Amino acid sequence: MSNETWTVERCLDWTIGYLESRGEERARLSAEWLLAAATGLKRIELYVNFKRPMSASELEVMHNNVVRRAKGEPLQYITGSTTFRFLDIACEPGVLIPRPETEMLVEAVLSFLDEEVLGHDGIGTMGRERVELPWNDEVEQARAAEREAAAADVAVDGDDMTGEGEVGESASDAEVTPEPAHADRALARVLEVGCGTGCVSLSLAAERPGLVRCVATDIEPRAVALATRNREATHVAPERVSFRLGDLIEPVLPDELGTFDVFVSNPPYIPTETLATLPSEVADYEPALALDGGADGLDVFRRLLAAAPRVLRPGGLFVCELFEESLDAAAELCRTYGMTDIHIMADLTHRPRFVLARLSA
């Protein structure tokens, strides 16, 4: 770069051209995210700060970011964050990046809780009192804006970065959002295995405040540490989402067995042979532990299914995100375990993506 003044606009234009020359399909989007991370501006703010000169430190960060992206490193690892439903979620190497399709996993769980646990007609099937769900015009407008932005190849802002933290229940009272007045009512209980960034459990707790309690486990210490920091950054109280280190349901306490309304997981599900066909952006950077599902993609799923009767209450929901070619086999396995109401749900691209089943009474 020359000694000429580099404004936000000039840097954005240069980056778009450079990434396009390197084969980046969504060069403008990538350039906006990289520039937002370098300047501390939100993406929408870039366009009202076009003439602002960039500092030497910002240019250095931007240079490093562009080099990393040109080598194929995922944007979420470079910028340190992504947007998942309505939350800004911190990302870092060693922990699987949240995917848009997993947002529907949350949707499936919420639909079940609303209809079967929290109640849809005054009193739910489990005798829990119905309260007004926290949807409003602002939320609906945000979702509409997100859909429009996706269609225009422009994502909704999610640029805020989170600070560092340690594993544990260390969120201070000042950082925790107070529970709503209905917090003393009976609650829905959710167990998540393989929490990664914590995006699923945190979304459930945030979108049904005071109504959902989650226990979320992961075998990877870096995932539990990151999920804990995300909990603090999203102001979700530790008692609402408990992140625990351990293999599958190992961290579940004895008195918690058989109490969960939902058992949810986005486990490793890519068949081993298919790993070689993944884009290098995934295969070279994201953790194999979170991807490799064994010969048929169902190795971890089988273990989850075997554990379901131990953790679910009768009639509880078991739901997993899986490889699209493994869903029929997964549904058949559910039948062999005596599960009921088994069905397969497609994602937003109409590919089979989720298996849902109920533990029989």
Q: Which residues pair with 189 in a beta bridge?
A: 213
Strand blocks (E) in 179-265 = 188-193, 212-218, 241-245, 260-265
Instruction: Give domain limits for the chain.
Output: 8-71, 82-358
Beta 212-218 vs 188-193: how paired, if at all? Answer: parallel
Q: 82-358 maps to which CATH number? A: 3.40.50.150
> Are 145 and 156 a contacting pair, CB within 8 Å?
yes
Say which amino acid occupies 31: A
Which tokens sit at 262?
């939902």
In whole angstroms, give the CA distance from residue 25 to residue 22: 9
Task: State which H helix or E strand residue 327 sits in.
Answer: helix 327-336
Residue 81 β-bridge partners: 90
Dihedral sign computed on CA atoms, order 357, 327, 285, 272? positive
pLDDT band at 23 (very low <50, low <70, confident <90, very high): confident
Kindly tell me if the per-residue pLDDT of 301 is higher than 90: yes
Spatial distance between the Cα atoms of 339 and 357, rounded to a whole number of angstroms = 6
Give the chain's radius of gyration (CA, Å).
Answer: 21
Contacts of 347 (CB under 8 A, 6+ apart): 101, 104, 353, 354
pLDDT one-digit tens code per residue, 111-161: 999 999 987 533 333 333 333 333 333 334 444 444 454 444 333 333 333
Dihedral of CA 326/329/331/334: which sign? negative
Look at residue 59 and tell me whether its pLDDT is greater than 50: yes
CA distance 74 to 30: 10
pTM value > 0.95: no
Contacts of 150 (CB under 8 A, 6+ apart): none
CA 323 – CA 222 distance, rounded (Å): 24
**Phi/psi at 292 (5° precision):** -75, 110
- Residue 3: its pLDDT value, please? 58
pLDDT tens for each residue of 316-333: 999 999 999 999 999 999
What is the tens place of the pLDDT at every residue in 80-94? 999 999 999 999 999
